[in-house]
Chain A
Amino acid sequence: MAKGDRLLDVVDLSTHFRTEEGILRAVDRVSFHLDQGETLGIVGESGCGKSITAKSVMNLVPQPRGSIVGGKVLYHGNNGTVDITSYHHQSREMRKIRGNEISMIFQEPMTSLNPVFTIGDQLMEAIMLHQRLGRAQARQRAAEMLARVKISNPEQRLDRYPHEFSGGMRQRAMIAMALSCNPQILIADEPTTALDVTVEAQILNLMQDLQDEMGMAIIMITHDLGVIAGMADRVLVMYAGWGVERATTEQVFYTPKHPYATALLQSIPKIGVRKRLTSIPGSVPDLNNVEGGWCYFAPRCAEAMDICRQKEPPTFDDDEGHTVKCWLWDKQQTGIKAG
């Protein structure tokens, strides 16, 4: 497979949760795609559905309350195209993809490794599961992976337990584990949020180096626009379960279209500009009680129009792949912004 080939097509993905208060639309008709070797950033506030989108791609939606209720996750793997949503979450087919072709690392390196098994055991477990290797070969492969993520004395470190590793080292070990079977896609769910800034930079650099070496595509989930700017080729901005804007990183940073993306950018400080940071007024609507039929961002939007409160905006595409889900870009509504 060559760089640039299509790996993943997520089409109108909807993941809902049954809660005491009713149906929670955590992910609501989100679409995006991912090409070989590229990095897609998914950005948004807490609770906007970023993590659930990622877990839907892994078919790991929290059971029994959550389920994928609509849309497709088309994975174009080595064995042809499969729709991940059509698999049962515990099925053999799904387990063959998880950890092998699509892997995931998580936000909390302190708790994402099992405290009662050695690092080596946990790495070898994934290797022996997906590759036909014996214990000795798997151990060698595990040591190679630890060396790859720049952990010194990998042979000895294999016999250490997670509590003997620092947070940064644990996240490296997680990355080693996730990449040990040469996956096509690495999903990183806020991989550096719990780490110090210096360690964060090391981990992000490491991920980029490994991407250059191994050629996997990365889905980087974060609320940190700085991480997006440094890592991502393309960006999906999420708000309240919707994908509100999808474009290249340059487009999102220099010519953002959605008022939410614009507001997000104004809320981060710039060096040399001494200006009061703008926060976005209001908060994300309670997704349990939304009726639909309006724009969820309208109550917080400075440019909201009447139609925003009456009708859900469709997604507008500008032919260059820059899409936005906002009425402002409807020619009939404004005639100003839409070119």
Chain B
Amino acid sequence: MLSYLIRRILYAIPMLLLVSFFSFIVINLPPGDYLTTVQQQLQSQAGMSRDQAVAMAERMRARYGLDQPFVLQYANWIGGIVTRGDFGYSFQHNRPVSEVIWVRLGWTLLIAGLCHAVSVIIGVLIGIFSATHKYSIGDNIATVFAFLGLSIPNFFFALVLMYLLAFHAGVHVGGLFSPEYVLAPWGWDKFVDLLKHLWVPVVVVGLAGTAQNMRIMRGNLMDVLNRQYVETARAKGLSERKVIYKHAVRNAIQPVIMYMGMALPFLIQGEIIASIILNLPTTGPSFYYALVNQDMYLAGSFLMMIAVVLVAGNLLADFALAWLDPRVRYD
């Protein structure tokens, strides 16, 4: 088991290096760079002549090392990340990328983590209920709910929910805090205010995941309940509760865990539109604006983070699977 863990972690390192290289290529693909935007701004807004603006942009290019060959730029960037935790400079925010990224990543991980926990726990529980009460009224209601959850786009759901809350319930929506608490120091009231706002994105973003987990769990559990070892467990004299929760669920939950590894990065980037609508300080909107403005180090770092989360999520899912299913450990 231990050697399996170490081996999997070692495999992840070259994988991440490769991913970082390709992210860097991808963000360099569009023609021009951030300084092309700056140059245009200098011309149109500061009233410089074209030559002056070009010269200015060239000086800045030299200062930020953007005139260097591609491979060297990449080496500087990745070297900074590995040795100093320096992700480069965000032109748009005029601050180091790490300052921009960590706060947003923190909120994102919190929201994504909550969505995940909610969608797994509720989805799995409803899935178990559905599978053990096949074709009952409860199962049919859950199935309708699941199809709705899977088919409603989350940004639309966010809009509807915001409309209902703002105009019918009269609550403050959008963002994570009410205006009076945004700059207030942390305290109990601020925490309560956070909770009042936090459930909206959790419900919006978690809905599809809940529905997905429910469908996966229902299908798998129904399949597992027909397996011979479930009957063996019953024939031993075990109670139905033990038969289902100990013997059947443990075998049926594996695809849910596999899906978790994939869903973690999806929750981080996939809620971009919902985050913009809900005005959340998460990575999604920031990533979007970084791409629009060709803020290359910021965009590259976000891409890199998403890749890290994807790899880490898959690793965690694989470890959980190996712990659950002995057949995975030996290959």
- Residues of B within 8 A of A (CB-CB), count: 21
Alpha-carbon separation in the docked complex, A58 to B239 (Å):
14
Q: Which of A95, A111, A118, A163 sits near B239, CB closer than 8 Å?
A: A95
Instruction: Describe A's contact surface by its main secondary structure.
Output: loop
Query: Counting CB contacts under 8 A, is A103 at the interface?
Result: yes
Within 8 A of B (CB), among A98-113: 98-100, 103-104, 106, 108, 111-113
Q: Which of A106, A115, A118, A125 sits near B231, CB closer than 8 Å?
A: A106
Query: Counting CB contacts under 8 A, is B325 at the interface?
Result: yes
Alpha-carbon separation in the docked complex, A178 to B233 (Å):
11
Q: Say whether, besides A111-B229, A112-B228, A116-B251, A163 and B327 are in contact (CB < 8 Å).
A: yes
Q: Say whether, besides A111-B227, A113-B229, A113-B232, A90 and B237 are in contact (CB < 8 Å).
A: no
Residue-wise interface mask of B (242-282) relative to A, using a CB-CB cutoff of 8 A (1 in contact, 0 not): 00000100110000000000000000000000000000000
Query: B232 and A114: CB pair below 8 A?
Result: yes
Query: Counting CB contacts under 8 A, is A177 at the interface?
Result: yes
Q: Which of B228, B239, B326 sits near A108, CB closer than 8 Å?
A: B228
Alpha-carbon separation in the docked complex, A26 to B158 (Å):
54
Alpha-carbon separation in the docked complex, A316 to B251 (Å):
50
Query: A99 and B229: CB pair below 8 A?
Result: no
Query: Counting CB contacts under 8 A, is B84 at the interface?
Result: no
Alpha-carbon separation in the docked complex, A126 to B237 (Å):
8
Query: B227 and A161: CB pair below 8 A?
Result: no
Within 8 A of B (CB), among A182-218: none
**B250 contacts which chain A residues (CB < 8 A)?**
116
Alpha-carbon separation in the docked complex, A100 to B238 (Å):
11
Within 8 A of A (CB), among B219-235: 227-229, 231-235
Query: Counting CB contacts under 8 A, is A97 at the interface?
Result: yes
Query: A163 and B233: CB pair below 8 A?
Result: no
Query: A116 and B239: CB pair below 8 A?
Result: no
Query: Counting CB contacts under 8 A, is B324 at the interface?
Result: yes
Alpha-carbon separation in the docked complex, A99 to B237 (Å):
5
Which of B231, B235, B238, B239 is the most central at the interface, judged by chain A CB atoms within 10 Å of its CB?
Answer: B235
Distance in angstroms from A52 CB to nearest chain B CB is: 13
Query: A111 and B228: CB pair below 8 A?
Result: yes
Alpha-carbon separation in the docked complex, A161 to B238 (Å):
20
Query: Counting CB contacts under 8 A, is B67 at the interface?
Result: no
Distance in angstroms from B251 CB to nearest chain A CB is: 6
Q: Say whether, besides A104-B235, A106-B232, A114-B247, A90 and B326 are in contact (CB < 8 Å).
A: no
Distance in angstroms from A305 CB to nearest chain B CB is: 42
Query: Counting CB contacts under 8 A, is A174 at the interface?
Result: yes
Query: Counting CB contacts under 8 A, is A129 at the interface?
Result: yes
Query: B239 and A90: CB pair below 8 A?
Result: yes
Query: Counting CB contacts under 8 A, is B99 at the interface?
Result: no
Residue-wise interface mask of B (300-331) relative to A, using a CB-CB cutoff of 8 A (1 in contact, 0 not): 00000000000000000000000011110000
Give me the 5 closest cross-chain CB pairs, A-B, nearest first. A99-B237, A99-B236, A98-B237, A111-B228, A114-B229
28 intermolecular pairs with C-beta atoms under 8 Å apart: A60-B231, A99-B236, A99-B238, A100-B237, A103-B236, A104-B235, A106-B228, A106-B231, A106-B232, A108-B228, A111-B228, A112-B228, A112-B229, A112-B231, A114-B251, A115-B325, A115-B326, A116-B250, A116-B251, A116-B324, A116-B325, A118-B326, A126-B236, A129-B237, A161-B326, A161-B327, A174-B232, A178-B235
Task: Beyond A60-B231, A99-B238, A114-B251, list 5 extra A-B contacts (CB 8 Å).
Answer: A90-B239, A90-B240, A112-B229, A129-B236, A161-B326
